[in-house]
């Protein structure tokens, strides 16, 4: 009795399960302050993100950039908790800002992404 068909079927099933899976990256931020798409009355003093896993500070960064692409960070990334990091920002003028983040998690995965928020500036 040959078991080749069973083995081949197993390999094909694994490939079929993995093919779409490999298109997905890790999904990361669990809570961001300010949250994605927020419209703020005043400039935030810092950007804080809690991730779904513990984070290594080395090789992780959060950059806040204005519409012209200028970096608006006012300090280095600092750890709040194993899975939470924050970075202070300069006083932000009214406008739209990008939070570009990249983190190395404790299980060796590197992920990145972008969040956006707007400072409206007064009523």
Partner 1 sequence: MLAIEGLVSAALYFTAALVLGSLATAAFVLPPGESPLRKQLISFAAMFTAAFLLIAAAALIVQGAKLSGGGLPSLDVLLRYVMKTQSGNVWLWREIYGALLLALLISFQNTDISERAGRWMVLAAIPLAASRSLTSHAAAAREYPLMAMACDAIHLTVAAVWAGGLPLLCWALWRGSRFATSPGWTGNLVARFSRLAFRSVVLLVSTGIFQSWIQVGTWDSLLETAYGRVLLLKLALFLMMLAFGALNRHFTLPDLIAAPHPAPFPRDAFQRIGAEAVLAIIVFVATGFLTILPPGAHSAHQLAAAPRFGVLTPAEGAAIKILSPRDGETLHGDEVPLKFRLTPGRRGTHAHAYVDGELMGMFETESGTLTGITPGHHALELRVVAGDHQTELDASDTVHFVVK
Binding of partner 1 by 89 (CB under 8 A): no
Q: How many residues bind partner 1 (CB under 8 A)?
A: 47
Binder among 45, 71, 78, 109 for partner 1 (CB under 8 A): 109
Peptide bond into 34 cis (omega under 30): yes
User: Tokens for 27?
Assistant: 């999904």
Pick the closest to residue 94 from 63, 62, 64, 122 (CA basis).
122
Binding of partner 1 by 88 (CB under 8 A): no
Contact window for partner 1 (CB under 8 A) among 11-19, 69-77, 85-93:
11-19
Binding of partner 1 by 53 (CB under 8 A): yes
Binder among 43, 46, 56, 73 for partner 1 (CB under 8 A): 56
CB 81 within 8 A of CB 49: no
Collapsed DSSP state (helix, strand, coil) of residue 43: coil
Binding of partner 1 by 95 (CB under 8 A): no
Strand partners, 55: 105
């Amino acid at each position: 009795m040959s078991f080749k068909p069973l083995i081949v079927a197993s390999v094909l099933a694994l490939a079929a399960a993995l093919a779409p899976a490999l298109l997905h990256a890790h999904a990361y931020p669990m809570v961001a302050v300010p949250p994605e798409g927020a419209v703020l009355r005043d400039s935030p003093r810092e950007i804080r993100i809690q991730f779904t896993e513990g984070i290594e500070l080395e090789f992780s960064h959060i950059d806040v950039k204005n519409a012209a692409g200028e970096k608006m960070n006012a300090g280095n990334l600092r750890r709040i908790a194993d899975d939470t990091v924050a970075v202070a920002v300069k006083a932000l003028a009214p406008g739209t800002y990008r939070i570009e983040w990249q983190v190395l998690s404790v299980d060796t995965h590197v992920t990145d992404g972008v969040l956006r928020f707007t400072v409206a500036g007064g009523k």
